[in-house]
Structure 1
Amino acid sequence: MKSVFLACGMWAAATVVWAQYAPAGDRIKTSWGENIDVNQVWNEYPRPIMERGEWANLNGLWSYAIEPKSAAMPRQYEGEILVPFAVESSLSGVGKQLGKEEALWYKRDFTVPSKWRGRHVLLHFGAVDWQADVWVNDVKVGMHKGGYTPFTFDITPALKKSGSNTLVVRVYDSTDAGYQPRGKQVNNPEGIWYTPVSGIWQTVWLEPVADMHIENLRILPDIDRNVLSVGVETSADAASVVAEVIVLDGGKEVASGRSVNGQAVEVAMPEDVKLWSPDSPYLYDLQVNILRDGKVVDRVSSYAAMRKYSMKRDDKGIMRFQLNNRDIFHFGPLDQGWWPDGLYTAPSYEAMIYDVKKTKDWGFNMIRKHVKVEPALWYTYCDRIGMIVWQDMPSGEKCCEWQNRSYFKGSEFERSAESEANYRREWKEIIDYLYSYPCISTWVPFNEAWGQFKTVEITEWTQQYDPSRLVNSASGGNFFMCGDILDLHHYPGPSMYLYDTHRANVLGEYGGIGFPMEGHLWTPDRNWGYIQFKSSKEVTDQYVKYGEELLDLIERGFTGAVYTQTTDVEVEVNGIMTYDRKVVKMDEDRIREINSRICHSLDK
Structure 2
Amino acid sequence: MAGTFKGKANAPLPVKLNSPKAWSPDSPTLYEVSVKLFDGKKLIEEVKSYVAYRDIRMAKTPDGHQRMFLNGKPLFQYGPLDQGWWPDGLYTAPTDEALLFDIVKTQEMGFNMIRKHVKVEPARWYYHADRLGMLVWQDMPSGDMGNRWEVRPGVIREGVEKVRTPESEEIFKTEWKEIINEFKFFPSIVVWVPFNEAWGQFKTTEITQLTRELDPSRLINSASGGNFEMEGSTVVGDILDLHNYPDPVMPDPKIFGEKSLMVLGEFGGLGLPIEGHTWQQKDNWGYQSFSTADELKARYSALIDDLANYIPRGLSAAVYTQTTDVEVETNGLMTYDRQIIKIAVEELKKMHEKLYQ
Please say whether Structure 1 and Structure 2 have the same fold, judged by a TM-score greater than 0.5. yes
1:120 corresponding residue in structure 2: none
Q: Is the 8 A contact 1:286 1:301 kept in 2?
A: yes
C-alpha displacement of 1:365? 0.3
* 1:449 lines up with 2:206 in the alignment: no
Q: Distance in 1 between matches of 2:217 and 2:4?
A: 22
CA gap 1:567/1:366 in 2 versus in 1, 3 angstroms: same
Which of the pair has the greater relative contact order for Cα pairs under 8 Å at 6+ separation? Answer: 2
Q: Distance in 1 between matches of 2:40 and 2:176?
A: 38
C-alpha displacement of 1:295? 3.1
Q: Distance in 2 between matches of 1:571 and 1:530?
A: 12
* 1:438 lines up with 2:212 in the alignment: no
C-alpha displacement of 1:321? 0.3
1:520 corresponding residue in structure 2: 277
* 1:268 lines up with 2:30 in the alignment: no
CA gap 1:537/1:587 in 2 versus in 1, 3 angstroms: farther
Indicate the structure with greater helix content: 2
* 1:529 lines up with 2:286 in the alignment: yes
Alignment of 1:215-254 (within 5 A): 253-254=1-2
Where 1:521 maps in the other structure, the secondary structure is coil
CA gap 1:478/1:407 in 2 versus in 1, 3 angstroms: farther
- Aligned AA (1:391): Q
C-alpha displacement of 1:254? 1.4
2:225 corresponding residue in structure 1: 476
CA gap 1:427/1:565 in 2 versus in 1, 3 angstroms: same
* 1:545 lines up with 2:302 in the alignment: yes
Where 2:4 maps in the other structure, the secondary structure is strand
* 1:396 lines up with 2:143 in the alignment: yes
1:126 corresponding residue in structure 2: none
Q: Distance in 1 between matches of 2:7 and 2:90?
A: 44
Moved more, 313-322 or 286-295: 286-295
- Aligned AA (2:170): A
- Aligned AA (2:259): H
CA gap 1:405/1:359 in 2 versus in 1, 3 angstroms: closer
C-alpha displacement of 1:479? 0.2
Q: Distance in 1 between matches of 2:220 and 2:251?
A: 21
Where 2:295 maps in the other structure, the secondary structure is helix
* 1:489 lines up with 2:237 in the alignment: no
Which of 401, 404, 423 is the matching residue for 2:172?
Answer: 423
* 1:508 lines up with 2:265 in the alignment: yes
Where 2:34 maps in the other structure, the secondary structure is strand
C-alpha displacement of 1:274? 1.4
- Aligned AA (2:95): S
Q: Distance in 2 between matches of 1:401 and 1:429?
A: 28
C-alpha displacement of 1:533? 0.6
C-alpha displacement of 1:526? 1.7
In the comparison of the two structures, how many residue pairs are matched? Answer: 347
2:233 corresponding residue in structure 1: none
Q: Distance in 2 between matches of 1:379 and 1:513?
A: 27
* 1:592 lines up with 2:339 in the alignment: no
Q: Distance in 2 between matches of 1:462 and 1:263?
A: 26
- Aligned AA (1:453): F
Which of 329, 335, 342 is the matching residue for 2:89?
Answer: 342
C-alpha displacement of 1:374? 0.4
Q: Distance in 2 between matches of 1:262 and 1:437?
A: 23
Q: Is the 8 A contact 1:544 1:590 kept in 2?
A: no
- Aligned AA (1:422): I
Q: Distance in 1 between matches of 2:268 and 2:344?
A: 16
Q: Is the 8 A contact 1:547 1:595 kept in 2?
A: yes
Q: Distance in 1 between matches of 2:197 and 2:124?
A: 28
Which of 93, 108, 123 is the matching residue for 1:376?
Answer: 123
- Aligned AA (1:395): S
Q: Is the 8 A contact 2:81 2:320 kept in 1?
A: yes
Indicate the structure with greater strand content: 1
Q: Distance in 2 between matches of 1:406 and 1:466?
A: 26
Q: Distance in 2 between matches of 1:419 and 1:367?
A: 29
Q: Distance in 1 between matches of 2:238 and 2:150?
A: 22
Q: Distance in 1 between matches of 2:109 and 2:315?
A: 21
Q: Is the 8 A contact 1:364 1:596 kept in 2?
A: no
CA gap 1:565/1:407 in 2 versus in 1, 3 angstroms: farther
Q: Is the 8 A contact 1:576 1:586 kept in 2?
A: yes
Q: Distance in 2 between matches of 1:404 and 1:359?
A: 29
Q: Distance in 1 between matches of 2:252 and 2:245?
A: 15
Give every structure 1 segment of 4 or more consecutive aligned residues whose post-TM-superposition deviation is greater than 6 Å. Answer: none
Alignment of 1:90-169 (within 5 A): none
Question: 1:373-414 CA distances to partner (integer Å, 9 max, x unpaired)?
Answer: 001110000001100000000011114212388754441001
Q: Distance in 2 between matches of 1:448 and 1:259?
A: 48
C-alpha displacement of 1:472? 0.5
Q: Distance in 2 between matches of 1:491 and 1:510?
A: 5
Q: Structure 2: 5+ residue runs without aligned partners?
A: 231-235
CA gap 1:407/1:491 in 2 versus in 1, 3 angstroms: farther
Where 2:341 maps in the other structure, the secondary structure is coil
Identity %: 50
Q: Is the 8 A contact 2:152 2:226 kept in 1?
A: no
TM-score after normalising by structure 1: 0.56
Q: Distance in 1 between matches of 2:67 and 2:330?
A: 33
CA gap 1:522/1:435 in 2 versus in 1, 3 angstroms: same
- Aligned AA (1:594): M
- Aligned AA (1:489): H
Root mean square deviation of aligned Cα: 1.5
Q: Structure 1: 5+ residue runs without aligned partners?
A: 1-252
Q: Distance in 2 between matches of 1:448 and 1:258?
A: 48
Report the structure number with the largest CA radius of gyration: 1
2:42 corresponding residue in structure 1: 295
Q: Distance in 2 between matches of 1:573 and 1:399?
A: 27
Q: Distance in 2 between matches of 1:409 and 1:382?
A: 38
